[in-house]
Structure 1
Amino acid sequence: MAASPRPIGHPGYSETLPRVPESAAAARRLVRVALAVWGLEDMADDGALIVSELVSNAVQHARRESVRVIIECPAASCVRIGVVDFSRVPPSRRGPDDESEHGRGLPLVAALAKDWGTDPLPWGKRVWAELHGEVRG
């Protein structure tokens, strides 16, 4: 599967990936490449971690065989990372207990992102997070 750039509107890339844990690595690569193209490499580490958590949540909780990763640059030094899946159940932010392997993803996303949320879609949902960097000029 190949990433596709957005032909019109603000810059963006997207890729449909299989709903498997290994897709987090492909999603991280997509984020890093998009941010490098836009000259926003300073957000690459946080962006890669955020997309990993969002893809991991979709792999664990969504239905169907694929998820879609969307990276957009709606404004100078603003990046929105989204993962679309076919579950209408919104993510719930809960604190992990000391023994749990799960429950740390959304608190981590909230700590790294300027903002994050969920957009309901007719067939599922988009979970997104925004990063804001330094304006260059």
Structure 2
Amino acid sequence: MTATARPSALGAPAYSQVLLREPGAAALARQMVRTVLDTWHLPHLADEAAQVTSELVTNAVDHARGRCLRVTVTRISECRVCLAVIDKSHDKPELKTALPTDEHGRGLAVIDAFAQGWGVDTLQWGKRVWAVLGDGAGEDEQ
């Protein structure tokens, strides 16, 4: 796994990785996120972050276009991170209530349950779906 460390536009520490938009991408993204959180001494966020990352990536694999997607992890404060997946689709995900018999449709509900906030940023060529995890209520989310 190769992840690129670079400062974000806000100067916050960030890692990003471009992955092929294929079923194995979620496992690679989870591994990257766990490694980053360990590096930042935030292992208590690892399980929830891995679950949220998995849902974000799976949504992009299932619904986006293009060969690749980008996963980013940004440290927005001492104890908070923003996880994001960037893809080439303009279709915004919608939070739904899945029926017990539905096989799909729970991803955003999982993200909503674990994250302190989440949203979608429209980009010229696609979108960024992000979620904030960690302590620090009242701080800016991105």
For normalisation by structure 2, the TM-score amounts to 0.90
2:91 match: secondary structure:
coil
Q: Name the residue aligned to 1:18.
A: 20
Amino acid at match of 1:22: G
Using the alignment, how far apart are the partners of 1:39 and 1:133 within structure 2?
Answer: 14
Q: Structure 1 stretch 90-99 or stretch 44-53: which is displaced more? A: 90-99
**CA deviation string 1:53-106 (max 9, x = no partner):** 000000010000111000000111010000000001110111112222111110
Alignment of 1:1-137 (within 5 A): 2-7=2-7, 9-133=11-135
Amino acid at match of 2:87: D
Q: Name the residue aligned to 2:139.
A: none
State the identity as a percent. Answer: 45
Q: Which runs of 5+ in 2 are unaligned?
A: 137-142
1:87 match: secondary structure:
coil
2:70 match: secondary structure:
strand
Count how many residue pairs are aligned between Structure 1 and Structure 2: 134
Using the alignment, how far apart are the partners of 1:93 and 1:7 within structure 2?
Answer: 31
Using the alignment, how far apart are the partners of 2:100 and 2:49 within structure 1?
Answer: 26
Q: Which runs of 5+ in 1 are unaligned?
A: none
How far off its partner does 1:49 sit? Answer: 0.2
Using the alignment, how far apart are the partners of 1:115 and 1:106 within structure 2?
Answer: 11
2:109 match: secondary structure:
helix
Q: Name the residue aligned to 2:140.
A: none
1:42 touches 1:133 (CA, 8 Å); kept in 2? no
The list of structure 1 runs, each at least 4 consecutive aligned residues, that deviate by more than 2 angstroms after superposition, is none
1:6 match: secondary structure:
strand
Using the alignment, how far apart are the partners of 1:7 and 1:60 within structure 2?
Answer: 29
Using the alignment, how far apart are the partners of 1:133 and 1:29 within structure 2?
Answer: 22
2:72 match: secondary structure:
strand
Gap change, CA 1:11 and 1:96, over 3 Å in 2: same
Amino acid at match of 1:126: R
